[in-house]
Amino acid sequence: AQSVSQHNHHVILSEAASLELGCNYSYGGTVNLFWYVQYPGQHLQLLLKYFSGDPLVKGIKGFEAEFIKSKFSFNLRKPSVQWSDTAEYFCAVSYTGGFKTIFGAGTRLFVKA
Amino acid sequence: EAGVAQSPRYKIIEKRQSVAFWCNPISGHATLYWYQQILGQGPKLLIQFQNNGVVDDSQLPKDRFSAERLKGVDSTLKIQPAKLEDSAVYLCASSNQGYEQYFGPGTRLTVT
């Protein structure tokens, strides 16, 4: 079965620290990849997406992610986190030609001021 | 533009009772999704509609869950009868000819 794995369930960082959240997906062909974020008390919203082209994609608020096809990975990065980045982050994959989007279990990030 | 609307925001029921959730997607979005998000887990797709037809309902427990999308616009998700393990947040999302989904605020269901 197709699946998405997020390596860390909880991450605690101090402001200005660098962030990398891991995401791996099971092989299933051509994929579209997403990172969604849910800030406290808010809806899930799209952070960034990859459909094709440059494997390094940039999203909102200084986030970026790199698609490494050989590793089935789509890790999220930010060079310097802020207190306002405290949120839950979800990696999601949809397989081209299929319809279902599969979400990872999420990573809760807490940034200490 | 207005976002995805859901109601109610919270619901508490006893097991074996029934409950219904409503979703109004973003205007013009042909695809509508219902997800179940259990505490500590990511959203799990229950059912996906394209206009008013079902695209995927492989993970919908059809013995107790049902969903409809009349006229290809708003949608209702029903649980009858509810079980304790149905306690979760039920998310509705919509998209327009793409894979980017816009989510509503969710309905938090507690079954006691």
Could you tell me the two tokens for A45? 């919203």
pLDDT at residue B43 in the model: 95
Rounded CA separation A107/B84 (Å): 26
pLDDT at residue A2 in the model: 81
C-beta separation of A16 from A112 below 8 A = no
Please give the residue of chain A at the shortest CA–CA distance from B41: A105
Mean pLDDT, range B105-110, rounded to an integer: 97
CB < 8 Å to A47, chain B: none
Mean pLDDT, range B62-70, rounded to an integer: 95
Q: How does residue B108 score in pLDDT terms, banded at 50, 70 and 90?
A: very high
Rounded CA separation A75/A6 (Å): 9
Mean pLDDT, range B16-36, rounded to an integer: 96
Tell me the average pLDDT of chain B. Answer: 94
pLDDT at residue B13 in the model: 98
Cβ partners under 8 Å of residue A9, min gap 6: A105, A106, A107, A108, B40
Per-residue pLDDT for chain A (113 aa), expressed as one digit of tens each?
Answer: 788 999 889 999 999 999 999 999 987 778 899 999 999 989 999 999 999 899 999 999 999 999 999 999 999 999 999 999 999 999 999 877 666 789 999 999 999 98
pLDDT at residue B5 in the model: 97
**pLDDT > 90? residue B106:** yes
pLDDT at residue A100 in the model: 79
C-beta separation of B43 from A103 below 8 A = yes
B102 Cα to chain A: minimum distance (Å) = 7
Q: What is the pLDDT of residues B82-98, one digit of tens each?
A: 999 999 999 999 998 76
Q: Determine, for residues B99 and A49 on separate chains, whether the beta-carbon distance falls below 8 Å.
A: yes
Please give the residue of chain B at the shortest CA–CA distance from A94: B99
Omega within 30 of 0 (cis) for the link into A40:
no
**pLDDT > 90? residue B105:** yes
Nearest CB neighbour to B42, from listed A49, A99, A105: A105
